[in-house]
Amino acid sequence: MSGEFHDPELDEVEMRLRTERPVPRPAFRGALLRRLMEESERRPAAVRLIVAAYASAGGALMAIAAAGVAGVGPFSP
């Protein structure tokens, strides 16, 4: 491991965590995968809407800040 911190004393702990970690039941994993796949089909439209809303709000806030710096608007000095 070049450039990384490595403690040989923790190797045993690492192996124990890897081998003894709980794993969800196959039925749960399958249901979760199906649900995520269904949602991923609808997600792009929702993401575009959220991005547009945030961009619009950010643009409006920048315009208000610019107006305030210019000496006009609700937040002018």
The answer to whether the CB of 43 falls within 8 A of the CB of 37 is: no
pLDDT of amino acid 2 = 46
What are the residue ranges spanned by the domains of the chain? 8-70
Does residue 39 register a pLDDT over 60?
Answer: yes
Of 5 and 66, the structure prediction assigns the larger pLDDT to 66
* Mean pLDDT, the chain, integer: 84
pLDDT of amino acid 65 = 86
CB atoms within 10 A of CB 67: 14
pLDDT of amino acid 77 = 64
pLDDT of amino acid 58 = 97
| Mean pLDDT to the nearest integer, 72-77 | 72
pTM, two decimal places: 0.43
